C-alpha cells in the first residue's frame, strides 16, 4: 500500500479569473476532480466567485452546491421561486445546482466560496473552522483546506506549510497525521467518491 502523499499547495496568486456568461462576475477555480475537468464533466469543483451584479446563476444539471459567503454583505437567492437570504459570513449553505436560481445583492459585491459536486458520484461536506483541527481522510476521500480569513498553517510530517488568504492545500487519502491551525476562518472540504460497493 502506498504511503501518505505530501499535500499539494495551490496558491491564490496562480489562479486566473474566468468571466461568467452573464457578465455578473468572475470565478477562480481552486481545484477540480478529475484534474483538468471542465464545467461540463467535473465530478467536483471548488472555486471562488466574485459576484458584482444581480442576475441568474448558471444551472448545473445533476449537481449539488454549497455556498459560503466569504466577503461582502450577502445575497438573497430565489431558488425555484422560494427566497433564501445568505447574509452571514462563513456559514455554508447547500442548494441544488439544477434549480433555477436568481441572485440579488444586498449591499454591493460579494465573494463566495463555492463547492459543486456531481450527485451520485461524490459526497461533499464543507466546514469552516476557527482554531485547530486534526485532519483525517477515510478511503476514497480528498480533503481541500482553504484559508478564507487570514493565514492558516498546515502541520504535516513533511514540514509545516503556511497558507495565505485564499491559498489552499489538497490532501489525498491515505492521509498522514496532520493538523490545520488558523487565527481566522479556514474551510475544510471533504470530498468522498462514491463506490459501486456502497
DSSP 141-195: EEEEEEEEES-EEEE-TT--EEE-TT-EEEEESS--SEEEEEEEEEEEEEEEE--
User: Mind listing the pLDDT tens digit for each residue in 112-129?
Assistant: 999 999 999 999 999 999
Q: Is the pLDDT of residue 196 over 60?
A: no
More confident site: 74 or 3: 74
What pLDDT is recorded for position 122?
Answer: 97
Architecture of domain 15-118: Sandwich (2.60)
More confident site: 10 or 139: 10
Q: Is the pLDDT of residue 172 over 50?
A: yes
More confident site: 24 or 187: 187
Average pLDDT, whole number, for the chain? 91
What pLDDT is recorded for position 21?
Answer: 64
User: Mind listing the pLDDT tens digit for each residue in 61-105?
Assistant: 999 999 999 999 999 999 988 999 999 999 999 999 999 999 999
Locate the DSSP E strands across 12-109: 18-19, 25-33, 44-51, 55-56, 63-71, 75-79, 82-86, 93-96, 101-105
Q: Please state which CATH number belongs to domain 121-193.
A: 2.60.120.10
User: Mind listing the pLDDT tens digit for each residue in 12-30?
Assistant: 999 999 887 666 789 999 9
Report residue 197's pLDDT band, with 50, 70 and 90 as the boundaries. Answer: very low
Q: Is the pLDDT of residue 138 over 80?
A: yes
What pLDDT is recorded for position 3?
Answer: 56
Q: Is the pLDDT of residue 50 over 80?
A: yes
What average pLDDT does this structure show over 134-159? Answer: 92
Range(s) within the chain of domains with CATH label 2.60.120.10: 15-118, 121-193
Amino acid at each position: 500500500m502506498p504511503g501518505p502523499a505530501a499535500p499539494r499547495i495551490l496558491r491564490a496568486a496562480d489562479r486566473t479569473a474566468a468571466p461568467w456568461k452573464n457578465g455578473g462576475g468572475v470565478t477562480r477555480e481552486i481545484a477540480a476532480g478529475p484534474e483538468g475537468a471542465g464545467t461540463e464533466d467535473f465530478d467536483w469543483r471548488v472555486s471562488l466567485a466574485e459576484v458584482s451584479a444581480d442576475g441568474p446563476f448558471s444551472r448545473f444539471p445533476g449537481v449539488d452546491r454549497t455556498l459560503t459567503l466569504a466577503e461582502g454583505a450577502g445575497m438573497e437567492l430565489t431558488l425555484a421561486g422560494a427566497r433564501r437570504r445568505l447574509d452571514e459570513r462563513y456559514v455554508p449553505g447547500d442548494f441544488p445546482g439544477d434549480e433555477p436560481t436568481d441572485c440579488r445583492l444586498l449591499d454591493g459585491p460579494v465573494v463566495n466560496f463555492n463547492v459543486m459536486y456531481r450527485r451520485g458520484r461524490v459526497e461533499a461536506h464543507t466546514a469552516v473552522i476557527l482554531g485547530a483541527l486534526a485532519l483525517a481522510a477515510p478511503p476514497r476521500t480528498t480533503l481541500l483546506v482553504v484559508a478564507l480569513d487570514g493565514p492558516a498553517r498546515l502541520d504535516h510530517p513533511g514540514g509545516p506549510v503556511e497558507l495565505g488568504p485564499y491559498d489552499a492545500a489538497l490532501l489525498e487519502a491515505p492521509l498522514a497525521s496532520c493538523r490545520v491551525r488558523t487565527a481566522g476562518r479556514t474551510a475544510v472540504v471533504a470530498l468522498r467518491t462514491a463506490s459501486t460497493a456502497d
